[in-house]
Amino acid sequence: MNETLQTQLNASLGQGLAAERQRVLRNTYWLLALSMVPTVLGAWLGVSTGLMASMGTGMSLIVFMAGAFGLMMLVEKTKNSSTGVYALLAFTFFMGLMLSRLLAAVLGFKNGSSLIMTAFGGTGAIFFAMASLATVIKRDLSSMGKFLFVGAIIMLVAGVVNVFLQSSALMLTLLVLSMAVFSAFMLYDIKRVLDGGETNYISATLAIYLDLYNVFQSLLSLLGIFGGERE
């Protein structure tokens, strides 16, 4: 009798955990979709005003570092309240503004609009593939986190260094590596939600948004370099 009761309790607990994980994932996807709105608004404002294009490379880097890391800290600090949602949307608006410099450069090509749509579609396809893969992989991927984090830090440092070196070869290498690392990060971050490793949907959205942002930026840059058509 006791064993039967224990089995029922375990089954009930398992169902409750599964339902909670699905709720976090569902909220994450909804907030992720919502975060695209301020991103587009920020990008549109940046392209229309030429605000980021008017800044020098050094100043743009300082603004990006201060704004991005400052807002990410604010999101994490407020993630357990509704304020966290507004902080996240402010962050995505800022990131859209930062993206405007690249978008403006790509729009300078004759086929700029189609390159942007191709990059958007390609990023969506990668997201769909990683989300699907995360649901079928049974093994624990938590060990990937440390390696991916170290890889991201190395790329960030190399990217800052290349601002001054202006090496085309290093830039291309970093763009390709960025696509690979952040696609893997996407798989890792979605799997964490599915496995219950991340229970806060605001933090989960922030992580997956950054993955998508970096994949899109890298893919668009590569398309502009190899597929851009001059007027």
- DSSP of 134-189: HHH--S--TTHHHHHHHHHHHHHHHHHHHHHH--HHHHHHHHHHHHHHHHHHHHHH
Is 188:207 a contact under the CB 8 Å cutoff? Answer: no
Q: pTM of the predicted model, to two decimals? A: 0.89
Q: How many domains does the chain have?
A: 1
The parent domain of residue 116 ranges over: 2-227
Which residues, in sequence order, are CB contacts of 128 under 8 Å at separation 6+?
Answer: none
Query: Looking at residue 26, what is its pLDDT?
Result: 92
Query: Looking at residue 156, what is its pLDDT?
Result: 87
Is 224:105 a contact under the CB 8 Å cutoff? Answer: yes
Give the C-alpha separation, 208 to 20, whole Å. 19
Query: Looking at residue 21, what is its pLDDT?
Result: 86
Query: Looking at residue 11, what is its pLDDT?
Result: 53
Query: Looking at residue 3, what is its pLDDT?
Result: 60
Query: Looking at residue 160, what is its pLDDT?
Result: 83
| DSSP symbols for 106-133 | HHTSTTHHHHHHHHHHHHHHHHHHHHHH
Tokens of 132: 């699907």
Burial bucket for residue 6 (CB in 10 Å: 0-12, 13-18, 19+): exposed
Give the angle 153-57-72 at the CA atoms, nearest 5°.
Answer: 45
Tracing tokens 């893997």 back to the chain, one arrives at: 184
Query: Looking at residue 180, what is its pLDDT?
Result: 94
Helices (H) and strands (E) in the chain, counts: 7, 0
Query: Looking at residue 222, what is its pLDDT?
Result: 95
φ and ψ at 137, to 5 degrees?
Answer: -75, 125
Per-residue confidence in pLDDT tens, the chain, 231 aa: 456 655 655 555 556 677 888 889 999 999 999 999 999 999 999 999 988 877 777 788 788 889 999 999 999 999 999 999 999 999 999 999 999 999 999 999 999 999 999 999 999 999 999 999 999 988 888 888 889 999 999 998 998 888 788 888 999 999 999 999 999 999 999 999 988 888 999 999 999 999 999 999 999 999 999 988 886
Give the C-alpha separation, 179 to 176, whole Å. 5
